[in-house]
Amino acid sequence: MVWNVTKFYLLEQWRNKWTTFGQIMAPLIFLIFALVIKNTMENKTVVDLLIKSQFLPFTLLILIFSLALSLNSLLLSEKKEDGTFLLLKRTDLKLNSYFMGVALGSFMIFNVLLILFMLSYKWLVGIDGAAFLNICLFANVTLLCLYPASYILASFFKQSKKVVAILTPITMLLMFSITMPSMFAMIQNQSPHIYYKFLFWNPMMIMNDFTLLELDVVASTWLPTYQYLFILIGMSAVLWFVALRMFKIADPD
Amino acid sequence: MELNVTKLSKRYGNKQVLDELTLSFTSGSTYLILGKNGAGKSTFVNILSGNLNSDGGEIVLEAGGEEYDLESNAVFQYQSFNSFRFLKVKEVIHFFSTITVDAKEDPELYKLLSLDRIHNQLIENLSGGERKAVSLYLTFLLNKRVVVLDEPFSELDIEKKYLLAKHLKQKLADQNAMTIIISHEILGYQELFTDVIIMDNGKVLETGKTQDLLDKYPNSPFQGLEGVFYSLTGKYIEVS
């Protein structure tokens, strides 16, 4: 039954391609700009550094955000709103199987897009095989960590349009909490790592730091990789715990 | 099988929408809940379906002294079907058939609702009436013992309404289902309902066998169940 749900979920996403395309617009813009500066700026070393330190990580971060949070919280709130879950409860499909089917579909879409973006950047700046694989694997762990947050988000709002409204400030919070410390650190001529103790709650920061290491932009990460993995898995467990307690398939008044 | 509703209450602010509603439903009967807009019919059905929490009271489904789970034994047809917007009609029906063990296809109903003409269309592109048809078909596909229909005849054309009423009467009798129907459209469908519940201002004013009520309130300026409703409330029911 899980595979059946995945199959229909993928079919729906394929047919609803403008929404899916909207979700990957931002990472696509980063890729297009990377392509433009690669072909217009003369100092190739600076361009490669810029792409590796800014464009590539942000493409991945926004892609993770879109697939883990945006798309799924919208889907969940829409299904709550239109009574789909209540209807599914009348069938023999366990709702957990439905959620697993949807999650499997999201992970499949994510990985196809991730590989396409990574191959594009590999062609642009050259990424060695091991780094390519490590970044892809770590991106999946980050996605897994953030995914339950979509259930928490969908629990707060009865209407899908309210979820859309709240997604923008959340994106800004998650993204600016990475760019701002880097900027402060640069002004003070220090490493951004000095601010990371305040940002351990942000999986995007961890993904960003790990990506920069794999691309040889930084010599070391703030914490060793295994500690990053522990934080992400721990955070995922906490988010799942909260999501399971909070998420309801309907909002009875 | 019996569905017993005891002292069910619901209040929105100062308005008592359901006032200690007590009702009993049995298998093999088709109940019409008749009332003007705001009488509490939809609130009652929404509470039954789990869409809404009640403020008090109890709903118990039982048979032979044993209690059954209402959720797994009842199906609710919503006024409009908005789920799975990017699937085709035939795909939605196939999906629900595969996830329901006791799913029961009904080719006659399929044709009667003209689903054969729209089976390749996306739900997203269907009209209100077509969505209603999909919703109705799914309700019966799930093959449950308790069936709740919310305005099943609205948005259907006259011929379909007539054929549907005829088909439903036979189908519900064959299935020995307990059916609860909310409908403003009663003209011409009187034979479908074995029992009638008349509600006004969140209260049950009268309940009984259709024919008994017709015999009980003969002196009304209106005919049939509209006459019964008028005799009890002094109000006109909005019939179509």
pLDDT digits (tens, 9 = 90+) for A15-65: 988 887 888 888 999 999 999 999 998 888 889 998 998 899 999 999 999
In the predicted structure, residue A253 carries a pLDDT above the cut 80: no
Task: State which residue of chain B sits closest to A18, comparing Cα positions.
Answer: B86
- What is the fold of B2-233? Rossmann fold (3.40.50)
In the predicted structure, residue A76 carries a pLDDT above the cut 70: yes
The distance of A128 to chain B (nearest Cα, Å) reads 40
In the predicted structure, residue A167 carries a pLDDT above the cut 90: no
Give the tens place of pLDDT for each residue, A87-100. Answer: 888 888 998 999 99
Chain A CB contacts of B142 below 8 Å = 90-91
Contacts of residues A162-168 at CB distance under 8 Å and 24 or more positions apart, as own/partner, are A162/A77, A163/A73, A163/A74, A163/A77, A164/A74, A167/A69, A167/A70, A167/A73
Chain A CB contacts of B104 below 8 Å = none
Q: Rounded mean pLDDT of B63-90?
A: 86
Domain boundaries, chain B: 2-233
Which residue, chain included where needed, has tokens 């109000």? B235
Give the tens place of pLDDT for each residue, A187-199. Answer: 787 877 888 888 8
Look at residue B226 in the predicted model and tell me its pLDDT: 84
Look at residue A218 in the predicted model and tell me its pLDDT: 86
Q: Which of A138, A4, A150, A10 is nearest to A70 (CA)?
A: A150
The distance of B32 to chain A (nearest Cα, Å) reads 22
Look at residue A252 in the predicted model and tell me its pLDDT: 60
**pLDDT confidence tier of residue B195, bands split at 50, 70 and 90:** very high
Mean pLDDT for all residues in chain A: 88
- State how far the alpha carbon of B85 is from the alpha carbons of A93, B123, B131, B166, B185, in Å: 19, 5, 10, 30, 28
Among A15, A84, A92, select the one facing B86 at the smallest CB separation. A15
- State how far the alpha carbon of B240 is from the alpha carbons of A114, B136, B158, in Å: 56, 20, 11
Give yes or no for a contact between B96 and B88, defined as CB atoms under 8 angstroms apart: no
Look at residue B9 in the predicted model and tell me its pLDDT: 93
Q: Rounded mean pLDDT of B223-233?
A: 85
B96 interface with A at CB cutoff 8 Å = yes
Q: Between A231 and A191, where is the model more confident? A: A231
Give the tens place of pLDDT for each residue, B25-63. Answer: 999 899 999 888 888 888 898 888 777 888 999 999 998
Q: Rounded mean pLDDT of B222-231?
A: 85
Inter-chain CB pairs, A–B, below 8 Å: 65
Among B49, B85, B96, select the one facing A91 at the smallest CB separation. B96
B72 interface with A at CB cutoff 8 Å = yes
Give the tens place of pLDDT for each residue, A195-211. Answer: 888 888 888 889 999 99
Give the tens place of pLDDT for each residue, B87-137. Answer: 999 999 999 999 998 888 999 999 988 899 999 999 999 988 888 889 999
Among B51, B82, B142, select the one facing A90 at the smallest CB separation. B142
Chain A CB contacts of B50 below 8 Å = 86, 89, 250, 252
The distance of B86 to chain A (nearest Cα, Å) reads 5
Look at residue B137 in the predicted model and tell me its pLDDT: 92
Look at residue A37 in the predicted model and tell me its pLDDT: 92
In the predicted structure, residue B239 carries a pLDDT above the cut 60: no
Look at residue A247 in the predicted model and tell me its pLDDT: 87
Residue B181 DSSP SS3 = strand
**pLDDT confidence tier of residue A151, bands split at 50, 70 and 90:** very high
The Cα B190–Cα A198 span in angstroms is 70
Q: In this prediction, does ipTM exceed 0.90?
A: no
**CA B111, B117, B118 angle in degrees (round to 5)?**
110
Give yes or no for a contact between B109 and B134, defined as CB atoms under 8 angstroms apart: no
B166 by Cβ neighbours in 10 Å (0-12 / 13-18 / 19+) ranks as: middle
B83 interface with A at CB cutoff 8 Å = yes
The distance of B171 to chain A (nearest Cα, Å) reads 20
Give yes or no for a contact between A231 and A201, defined as CB atoms under 8 angstroms apart: no
Task: State which residue of chain A sits closest to B55, comparing Cα positions.
Answer: A253
Report the share of chain A in percent with pLDDT over 90: 48
Q: Between A48 and A253, where is the model more confident? A: A48
Q: Do B91 and A84 touch (CB under 8 A)?
A: no
Look at residue A82 in the predicted model and tell me its pLDDT: 83
Chain B CB contacts of A92 below 8 Å = 99-101
The distance of B119 to chain A (nearest Cα, Å) reads 16
β-partners of residue B11 are: B16
B50 interface with A at CB cutoff 8 Å = yes
B69 interface with A at CB cutoff 8 Å = no
Q: Between A253 and B96, where is the model more confident? A: B96
List all residues of chain B from 104 to 143 with a beta carbon under 8 Å from chain A: 122, 138, 142
Mean pLDDT for all residues in chain B: 87
**pLDDT confidence tier of residue A251, bands split at 50, 70 and 90:** low
In the predicted structure, residue B79 carries a pLDDT above the cut 80: no
Look at residue A155 in the predicted model and tell me its pLDDT: 87
